[in-house]
Amino acid sequence: MSESIADTKPIDPAQPEAAPAIEIEHLHRFFGNLKAVNNVSFRVHPGEVMGFIGPNGAGKTTTMRILATLDVPTAGDAYVGGYSVIDQPDEVRRILGFMPDSFGKYQNVNVLEYLDFFARAYGFRGAERRDAIERVMVFTELHKLAEKPIDTLSKGMSQRLGLGRTLIHDPAVLVLDEPAAGLDPRARVELRELIHLLATDLKKTVLISSHILTELSEICNSAAIIEAGRILASGSRDEIMSGHRRDSTGQKSSLEVTVVRNVGQLQRWLLEQPYVENVSTTENKARFSFAGDEAAQAKFLRSMIEAGIEVVSLQGRTESLEDVFMAVTKGITQ
């Protein structure tokens, strides 16, 4: 083991000058002509929850599998707690917990037996193994389901079990691939609370991917946006938001219009207006960028009403990760 690795210190989230918990440097992963990961670089600092955002096929899972030492890059490297995933995979596995987007459910195995198997796989023995299982079951609130067969668990409880398996060796760094996929609203809220506790109370570093951008906005303090294998933006939420605003031309406001009915009519009308860009709609709302000042907004509202659109409200809105994602991505697939 080289001197630099031997001297590697445990990750300390309380020290801002500490080395990155995750550092990805010019990472490439090609499958024939497919460039699944194409020169990806970003950092996750100790104690952060970073959202890894991108459409299906963007390269998120491939990057996460490389971090988990389940795949080897074509070029470049990635470091977890200072350890190279290429040269020191065993050291990485000791401090990293990986929760894939799906995992096997086995017949005739209950929750306790499942966690016990993974505790044994990590080398825990005797009282140490019992303590590790107890710690995980308390955190995930799986005690009451200890004897329940895992192939009969609900989706929400299955995700708790998967998170428990990931935490069994008490890793400092967590990589969670779409943990909220398929969960009902209550289960998503409960999972979000668990991730918040992991970061704030247990001082874990978390890299989490999700398609539910509103969920990530509430728990992440940094983000990396990837499309077609390339990173389009990364950094703290403030850095990404300010960078997006700097990239926007002119003085633009983010506005939201609520109507009584017929949002399609509103959308068509907005697309014809000269100061309007980036229109998106929901059931009775339209969100868009507006390039005019307050006087132009007043005239704009008057014109909207004169066009027969039943306006309930027109108000400014705070930009979100979803807005930045829609602005910087182009819908490219590989």
Q: Would 289 be classed as within a structural domain?
A: yes
Kindly state whether residue 50 falls inside one of the protein's structural domains. Answer: yes
Q: State the pTM of this model.
A: 0.77
Helix axes 185-200, 155-167, angle to 10 degrees: 20
Q: Where are the alpha helices (DSSP H) in the chain?
A: 3-6, 60-67, 89-95, 111-121, 126-140, 155-167, 185-200, 213-219, 237-247, 263-271, 294-306, 321-328
Same-domain status, 163 and 226 = yes
168 plus 287 within the same structural domain: no
| Domain boundary, last residue among 214, 242, 270 | 242
Q: How far apart are CA 324 and CA 243, in angstroms?
A: 10
In a domain, 58, yes or no: yes
Does residue 334 lie in a domain region? no
Domain that holds residue 60: 3-242
Give yes or no: residues 230 and 310 share one domain.
Answer: no
Indicate whether 174 and 278 sit together in one domain.
no
Last residue of a domain, one of 185, 212, 242: 242
Q: Residue 318: inside a domain, yes or no?
A: yes
Q: Residues 213, 322: contact at Cβ < 8 Å?
A: yes
DSSP code of 250?
Answer: S
288-311 pLDDT, tens digit each: 988 888 888 899 999 999 999 999
Task: Tell whether 47 and 176 lie within a shared domain.
Answer: yes
Query: What span, in angstroms and rounded, lies between the C-alpha atoms of 80 and 11?
Result: 10
pLDDT score of 59: 95
> Does residue 62 contact residue 40 with C-beta atoms inside 8 Å?
no
DSSP letters, 46-76, are TT-EEEEE--TTSSHHHHHHHHTTSS--SEE
Are 110 and 74 spatial neighbours (Cβ–Cβ below 8 Å)?
Answer: no
Same domain membership, residue 178 and residue 77: yes
Residues of the chain with pLDDT under 50: 1-16, 246, 248-250
Give the pair of three-digit tokens for residue 51: 């959202």
pLDDT, mean over the chain: 88
